[in-house]
A and B are shown apart, each in its own frame.
Chain A
Amino acid sequence: MITIPLRRGAARTRRRGLPVRVALSLAASALLLSACAGGGPEPTPTGTGSESAGGTINVVVLGDTTEPSMQTVLSDYEAANPGYKINPVPIPLTTWPDFLSVLQTRLAGGADYDAVYLPTEGQLTLSSRGVLRALDDFIAADQEFMDDYYADLPAGMLKAFNEKENVDGSVYFAPHLVNTIGIWYNKAVFDAAGVAYPEADWTWEDFRTAAKALRDPDKGIYAFNLAPDLFQGLDPWLATNGASVLDDQWTKSTVSTPAAVESVSFARSLVEDDLVPAPGGTFDQYGALANGKLAMMGAGIWGVASFAALGGTDNFGIAPWPQQTRNGSPMGLGAFGILDKSTKADQAWNFVKWLISSEGQSKMITLGAQPVRVSTQNSPEYLAKLPDGGQHLDEALNYAHLVVGVEQGGEIGAAIQDSWNQMLLGNVSPEDGLAELSSNIDGILAG
């Protein structure tokens, strides 16, 4: 083999070049790693750092924080509380189980959050794990204000909330909004079909009779839409027949009782009679109701916000859910929990206090939610903003029950949704489906 020796100069150059290239390679590694670590930390508060004199707090909410309704409420708060700023941190998802999954990962990663918005479905999940700060001291410090607030809440709602959501005798939430559910209907579709608007005491059979008259396959009009989830889907049918998912103590499943089977069988019959779109699809019920392709749908006051971009609510009416044996509706309460690790708990409490004050309560309809204070629910300003029949949603607070909000809410919610859809599709009978669901729920509750 012929070897061509390197020239002395070339060899020297090569040796000198090595460390340079090594350094460059290492620098490239470092650069790459720093790039991978990009994205940076979550937005850092830019406040004064004072514990009690204003500043910016990071508040986590589900959905889009750039919505005008959200921005309006935050602006109103900041205008009413000079020096206090809210930095809304959105988790842009659509379901609470997914929201909680992301939230727990962020918290475990050290995210710097001060407060988090939680519905009933997610409140115990966080408060029972010691993630949130008990509000007892804050409440004691603002006793007069809080006494006025508690006295202004519907008695049944407050009792149910305290029984279920307090942990070891401590209060973790001061709810500022509530949602119940009713039947939204398109008046024009009813008028065209010659069907009278629903009465407040209408029954399942009244509902079925109306649905058959409203369904028009030629025009592509469906009578109703069966929502896939618990709150808008299964729960109202159970509640209006005296059934429930869990017992009163939320310790055991009661979802396979004969009354529950009857509820699901009725819902299944709506599918069999072709009165509703096939379950499991991507039916946009808000768009369909607004466009006259759907006669009725189940929703709460949030429809006001949802329909705002679809021409408003002038053409709609709201009726209570039809009943079989009794009035019924699920009830969900929204509140901000203050994170235990927050160094700005005072500022977060200031925000919570404003939301439950009379001024904050008057903004709830802007967010598409019912205020919790009875005085606000009865105020002319609020009533004037409600769609026709919207008062039924507030009246439902007198008989509504708290939607299931156990610690394992995410798992139970997913199990209910899957089972409910299977029964609606006829893949499994209501008897077998509910028996299996009941067993699953008990298994999840037992851990």
Chain B
Amino acid sequence: MTSEPDLPQRPEVLGSASRRALPAARRRRSRQARNELIAGYAFASPALLLFALFIGVPLVGTFVLSFTQWDLLSGDFGWVAAENYARLATDDVLPRVLLNSLLFSIATATLHLIVGLLLALAVNTAASRFIQAWSTVAYVFPFFVSAGAAALLARYLLSPDFGPVNHYLAKVGIDGPNWLSDPVWALPSLVVLDMWQTAGFTFLIFLVGLQGIPKEYYEAARIDGAGTLRRFFSITLPMISPTTLFAMIVSFAGAFQIFTWPYIVTAGGPGGATRTIVYYIYEKAFRGFDIGYGAALGVLTIVILAAVTVIQLVASRRWVHYER
């Protein structure tokens, strides 16, 4: 049986001077921690203030307005309790509007992910740095083009009689449709236009994700005899799965809030085929001067987006891999 070492009791470990110093050190650490906390908040304050002003306040304001009837022009204002929300249930136009928004968002987000990833893979594997740089600028450039200018250009390109698209289709014997005025083709046309302008952003996200994968993984896989497809499915896709999730959420949310194309290119037509939820909010709030109902539609949009994002995050547990 071994005896316990004859350790001195704790108070004896520290000298009396140290005992006196302990509270002072703790106070210093505590003050230091508090100062760092203050500094942290101070550095974050510009973003926090902007967020509160431009996101938080409008969000709360929208929610409050959704319980009112307010005419911006006359200033007539009144509380109507949940009347605007009851109108949501009886609005005949709303189901079609939501369907348009969902179809547009799903199609756009899917195309963004596929096209953005393919472009990023192509650029990431390009041998020449010049080609990489040039391609990156070329793909991202449309993202910085004024949406209004792009919309007007799109109307010209897709014009039925004089547009270059139908002109060249006719050259190969195809009678192009009236892209923006045909109820069948109008929404798909907007999906393609949106992809042209904003896929560069998704491409950039994927490119950053791809460039963050350590080369050693590919070298090890190659030594083990893994082919191109195996490396893509076993290394690339899992490694960029957090990036894919981010791109998916951002693309869907952005597409669901689309306004520019329906506003400038199709005015929500033909026959409501491109009337999306945000365009509908604009029609109700700013054309019909029905701010309260527009606000209720805005709250509905937030709820739908939040629900879809939660579903995406929950489902992502099955396929998103985080490096530990």
Instruction: Please list the residues of chain A having a beta carbon within 8 angstroms of any beta carbon in chain B.
Output: 15, 18, 21-22, 25-26, 28-29, 32-33, 36, 97, 100-101, 104-105, 107-108, 125-126, 129-131, 277-283, 408, 410-411, 414, 417-419, 421-422, 425, 427-428
A280 contacts B183, C-beta separation under 8 Å: no
User: Which residue of A is nearest B53, CB measured?
Assistant: A33
Binds A, one of B102-110, B155-163, B212-220, B229-237: B155-163
A129 contacts B42, C-beta separation under 8 Å: no
A25 CA to B39 CA, complexed, in Å = 8
Within 8 A of A (CB), among B54-82: 54, 71-76
User: Which residue of A is nearest B275, CB measured?
Assistant: A418
With a cutoff of 8 Å between Cβ atoms, the chain B residues found around residue A104 in the complex are: 72-73, 286, 289
Interface residues on chain B, size class: 35 or more
B183 contacts A25, C-beta separation under 8 Å: no
User: Which residue of A is nearest B178, CB measured?
Assistant: A280
B271 beta carbon closer than 8 Å to chain A: yes
> B271 touches which one: A21, A277, A422 (CB < 8 A)?
A422
User: Do A408 and B288 form a contact, CB below 8 Å, given A21-B39, A281-B162, A421-B181?
Assistant: yes
A422 CA to B274 CA, complexed, in Å = 14
With a cutoff of 8 Å between Cβ atoms, the chain A residues found around residue B270 in the complex are: 280, 418, 421-422, 425, 427
Min Cβ gap A7→B in Å is: 14
Min Cβ gap A115→B in Å is: 16
Min Cβ gap A430→B in Å is: 14
Within 8 A of A (CB), among B25-56: 31-32, 35, 38-39, 42-43, 45-46, 49-50, 53-54
With a cutoff of 8 Å between Cβ atoms, the chain B residues found around residue A29 in the complex are: 45-46, 49
B42 contacts A428, C-beta separation under 8 Å: no
A21 CA to B44 CA, complexed, in Å = 12
B73 contacts A125, C-beta separation under 8 Å: yes
User: Do A33 and B162 form a contact, CB below 8 Å, given A125-B73, A280-B178, A411-B288?
Assistant: no
With a cutoff of 8 Å between Cβ atoms, the chain A residues found around residue B286 in the complex are: 101, 104-105
A125 CA to B31 CA, complexed, in Å = 62
A129 contacts B269, C-beta separation under 8 Å: no
Min Cβ gap B188→A in Å is: 15
> B50 touches which one: A32, A101, A411 (CB < 8 A)?
A32
User: Which residue of B is nearest A131, CB measured?
Assistant: B73
A411 CA to B285 CA, complexed, in Å = 11
A118 CA to B317 CA, complexed, in Å = 58
User: Do A278 and B161 form a contact, CB below 8 Å, given A425-B182, A427-B183?
Assistant: yes
User: Which residue of A is nearest B284, CB measured?
Assistant: A411
B83 beta carbon closer than 8 Å to chain A: no
With a cutoff of 8 Å between Cβ atoms, the chain B residues found around residue A130 in the complex are: 74
User: Do A280 and B287 form a contact, CB below 8 Å, given A21-B39, A25-B43, A125-B73?
Assistant: no
With a cutoff of 8 Å between Cβ atoms, the chain B residues found around residue A131 in the complex are: 73-74
B35 contacts A18, C-beta separation under 8 Å: yes
User: Do A417 and B72 form a contact, CB below 8 Å, given A22-B42, A282-B159, A427-B182?
Assistant: no
B283 contacts A414, C-beta separation under 8 Å: yes
With a cutoff of 8 Å between Cβ atoms, the chain A residues found around residue B75 in the complex are: 108
> A283 touches which one: B31, B72, B161, B267 (CB < 8 A)?
B161
Min Cβ gap B143→A in Å is: 22
> A22 touches which one: B38, B54, B72, B288 (CB < 8 A)?
B38
A277 CA to B75 CA, complexed, in Å = 44
A414 contacts B43, C-beta separation under 8 Å: no
B73 contacts A108, C-beta separation under 8 Å: yes
Min Cβ gap B265→A in Å is: 10
Residue contacts A-B, CB under 8 angstroms, 24 given: A18-B35, A22-B39, A25-B42, A33-B49, A36-B53, A107-B72, A108-B72, A108-B73, A129-B76, A130-B74, A277-B161, A279-B178, A280-B160, A281-B159, A281-B161, A281-B178, A283-B162, A410-B288, A411-B283, A414-B267, A418-B272, A421-B269, A422-B271, A428-B271
Instruction: Please list the residues of chain B having a beta carbon within 8 angstroms of any beta carbon in chain A.
Output: 31-32, 35, 38-39, 42-43, 45-46, 49-50, 53-54, 71-76, 155-156, 159-163, 178, 180-183, 267-272, 282-283, 286-289
Min Cβ gap B177→A in Å is: 10
Contacts A414-B287, A425-B182 aside, 13 further interface pairs with beta carbons under 8 A come to A18-B38, A25-B42, A33-B46, A36-B54, A126-B73, A129-B73, A129-B76, A129-B289, A277-B160, A280-B160, A281-B163, A411-B283, A418-B269
B160 contacts A25, C-beta separation under 8 Å: no
User: Do A107 and B73 form a contact, CB below 8 Å, given A29-B46, A280-B270, A414-B283?
Assistant: yes
With a cutoff of 8 Å between Cβ atoms, the chain B residues found around residue A410 in the complex are: 287-288
Most B CB atoms within 10 A — which of A22, A97, A107, A417? A22
> A101 touches which one: B32, B35, B287 (CB < 8 A)?
B287
A26 contacts B72, C-beta separation under 8 Å: no
A18 CA to B38 CA, complexed, in Å = 9
Min Cβ gap B181→A in Å is: 3
With a cutoff of 8 Å between Cβ atoms, the chain B residues found around residue A25 in the complex are: 39, 42-43, 45-46
With a cutoff of 8 Å between Cβ atoms, the chain B residues found around residue A411 in the complex are: 283, 287-288
A217 CA to B46 CA, complexed, in Å = 62
Min Cβ gap A188→B in Å is: 22
User: Do A129 and B287 form a contact, CB below 8 Å, given A32-B46, A280-B270?
Assistant: no
With a cutoff of 8 Å between Cβ atoms, the chain B residues found around residue A101 in the complex are: 282, 286-287
A15 CA to B31 CA, complexed, in Å = 9
Interchain residue pairs A-B with the least CB separation, the first 8: A280-B181, A129-B74, A25-B42, A278-B160, A281-B159, A101-B286, A108-B72, A22-B42
With a cutoff of 8 Å between Cβ atoms, the chain A residues found around residue B45 in the complex are: 25-26, 29
Min Cβ gap A201→B in Å is: 32
Min Cβ gap A432→B in Å is: 11
User: Do A418 and B163 form a contact, CB below 8 Å, given A36-B50, A411-B288, A427-B183?
Assistant: no
User: Which residue of A is nearest B181, CB measured?
Assistant: A280
Min Cβ gap B94→A in Å is: 14
> A425 touches which one: B50, B181, B288 (CB < 8 A)?
B181
Min Cβ gap A80→B in Å is: 33
Most A CB atoms within 10 A — which of B32, B71, B72, B163? B72
A36 CA to B54 CA, complexed, in Å = 10
With a cutoff of 8 Å between Cβ atoms, the chain A residues found around residue B162 in the complex are: 277, 281-283
A64 CA to B52 CA, complexed, in Å = 36
A281 CA to B163 CA, complexed, in Å = 8
> A280 touches which one: B42, B43, B180, B272 (CB < 8 A)?
B180
A129 CA to B290 CA, complexed, in Å = 13
A410 CA to B162 CA, complexed, in Å = 30
Min Cβ gap A444→B in Å is: 8
User: Which residue of B is nearest A100, CB measured?
Assistant: B287
